[in-house]
Amino acid sequence: MAFREQSTGSLAVGFGYSSIDKSSFLLESMRRTFWALEGLSVFCISFRKKSNFNLSLTDPFFLDRNLSASANIFTSKLEGKSVTTDQQGIGFGLGFRAANDVYHRLTYNLTEIRLIRQRTIRISTGESSEKLVSSAIGYRLGIEKEIIASIHQTVTLQKFQKPILVLVGM
């Protein structure tokens, strides 16, 4: 019997708005194979300069159980006309599969945000200093299906993910 690796993928599209970033657009394409996770992430902000870095590690069978654990370190820099924002932080996540291919994921991010003024302007951040610390908790409920097909002694595995509910709180 011969095995053939069948890649699967996901596509995420996002839109956002904040008083500092203004409008933003995110396009992320991920390709998953049996041995690796390959991804392409494009983040565009109109009339701004932005740089992102995210280092992530995932253990799909944390403590030899039906738990997945992840940790990531990230940094982001946004240069505007009058303000530059630097964000650095860490994130953690735990997830598990439930019945009928349903999965649950809980995430936590801790971020330090620095505002650098390039000229005299008035900024309303709700804080008296230019260094802010924020934390966010997220919850995701989704469905992940695996289909195994055998055609002429070739076995293929396909994986599909569909989020049902995504909650984020600060």
Tell me the whole-structure pTM to 2 decimals: 0.54
The owner of tokens 């902000």 is 45
Q: Please report which confidence band the pLDDT of residue 76 belongs to, taking 50, 70 and 90 as the band edges.
A: confident
Element (H, E) at 115: strand 102-117
- Sequence ranges of the domains in the chain: 51-169
Give whole-number Cα distances, 80 to 10, 45, 133, in Å. 31, 10, 20
Sheet containing 102-117: order of strands: 2-3, 154-169, 131-151, 102-117, 83-97, 67-79, 49-59
pLDDT of residue 162: 57
Could you give the percent of the chain with pLDDT greater than 70?
45
Most confident of 18-32, 98-112, 135-149: 98-112
Query: For tokens 């494009």, what's the residue?
Result: 42
Render pLDDT for 50-72 as a digit per residue (tens, 0 to 9). 676 667 777 777 788 878 888 88
pLDDT tens for each residue of 147-168: 555 455 554 444 555 555 555 5
DSSP 63: G
Q: Do residues 111 and 137 lie in contact, with contact meaning Cβ atoms separated by under 8 Å?
A: no
Q: Under a CB-based contact definition with an 8 Å cutoff, are residues 27 and 39 in contact? A: no
Q: Give CA–CA dist 40/30, Å, rounded.
A: 6
Q: Is the pLDDT of residue 98 over 80?
A: yes
